[in-house]
Structure 1
Amino acid sequence: MSEEEQTQPTGQDVKSEGDNAPISVKVVSSSGEEVFFKIKRNTKLSKLQGAYANKVGKDVSSIRFLYDGARINDEDTPASLDMEDNDTIDVMVEQVGGC
C-alpha cells in the first residue's frame, strides 16, 4: 500500500514539470481584445488558432497569427517557437489587395 502512495504523486509531478507541461498563452487582437489559452508545449498551434477563430466568430483563413513578429505556421508548437508561460500571440486580419 505504501508503494502505491509513493508512485502516484511522483508520476503527477513528472507530468506537470515535463517538457510537455501546459503554458498559458495570451492572444491579442489589433483592437486590444485579449483571449487566454492554456496549451501543452507540444500541441500544434493550429489547434489554438482554430479555437480562437471559433471564439471570436471569424474564419481561421481570414486572420493571421504572429509571435515575435514572425508568422505562425500550422505545424509550429510552443516548444518549437521557444514560447514561455504568459507569452503573447498577436492576431491580424489578413488584407487582400494592394494597388
Structure 2
Amino acid sequence: MADDQEYINLKVKAQDNEEIHFKIKKTTQFKKLMETYCQRNGLSMANVRFMFDGDRIQETQTPKELSLENNDEIDVAIEQVGGSL
C-alpha cells in the first residue's frame, strides 16, 4: 500500500463563514498557513487564533501531528481588543 499522500487540502473558515482553501504538505508547520492567511486578509498573527475541533493550533504543529484528513476545517477567530461599538 502506498504511503499517505504528501499533500492535504484544508479549509480555513472565518467567523463570517468565509472560507479559504489551502493545499499544504502534511509535514509543513502551520505557521506557514497562518502567515499566508493573515497576509491575504490584512490581519496580524497576534490577533488571530486557529483552532481544530476547539483546540488551538500551535505554529509549530503539522497536519500530520494533528491527524488531519483531507478537507478538514480549521476555524479562525479574531481576538477582539477594546470596547464595544
Q: State if a TM-score over 0.5 links the two structures.
A: yes
Match of 1:9 in 2: none
Question: How far does residue 19 in structure 1 lie from its aligned partner after superposition?
Answer: 4.1
The structure where helix makes up a greater share of residues is 1
RCO higher in structure (CA 8 A, sep ≥6):
2
Question: How far does residue 95 in structure 1 lie from its aligned partner after superposition?
Answer: 3.0
Q: Which runs of 5+ in 1 are unaligned?
A: 1-16
RMSD between aligned residues: 1.7
Whole-Å Cα distance in 1 between the matches of residues 56 and 3 of structure 2? 27
Match of 1:66 in 2: 51
Question: How far does residue 77 in structure 1 lie from its aligned partner after superposition?
Answer: 0.3
The alignment of Structure 1 onto Structure 2 pairs a total of residues equal to 82
TM-score, normalising length from structure 2?
Answer: 0.88
Q: Which runs of 5+ in 2 are unaligned?
A: none
Q: Percent identity?
A: 43
Amino acid at match of 1:84: E
Q: After TM superposition, list the pairs within 5 Å mapping 1:1-99 onto structure 2.
A: 18-19=3-4, 21-96=6-81
Question: How far does residue 97 in structure 1 lie from its aligned partner after superposition?
Answer: 6.5
TM-score, normalising length from structure 1?
Answer: 0.76
Q: Deviations over 1:44-99 (max 9, x none)?
A: 0011000000111111111100001000001110000000000000000113469x
